[in-house]
Amino acid sequence: MTEEVKISGRRQRRLEKEQDQTAEPKKTYWVQIRMFPIWLRILLCIILFAAAAAAGLMVGYGVLGDGKPTDALKWETYQHILDIKDGK
């Protein structure tokens, strides 16, 4: 009478993995090619963030406030705010 040796699932997977490694290596038929390089993705995110911030300033200043939307992008507007803050 032969006794079956009980092998844990982890050990069985390791044995199967070792057998797969000793077998012929598999060929890779498909390789992922990035359409946009990483540096371009980062640059695009920065540009989109700046555009969203500018659009938010214009909506907040022009629509919610009573000013012209293009005034939100002028330095004089922020200089005036800084002068009020500093008490000038």
Chain centroid offset of residue 82 CA: 34
- What are the backbone dihedrals phi and psi of residue 11, each rounded to the nearest 5 degrees, phi first? -70, -35
pTM given for the model: 0.55
User: What is the distance between the alpha carbons of residues 81 and 77, in angstroms, rounded to a whole number?
Assistant: 6
- Per-residue pLDDT of the chain (88 residues), as tens digits, is 455 566 777 888 887 877 776 656 667 777 778 888 899 999 999 999 999 999 999 999 898 988 889 888 899 988 998 999 998 7
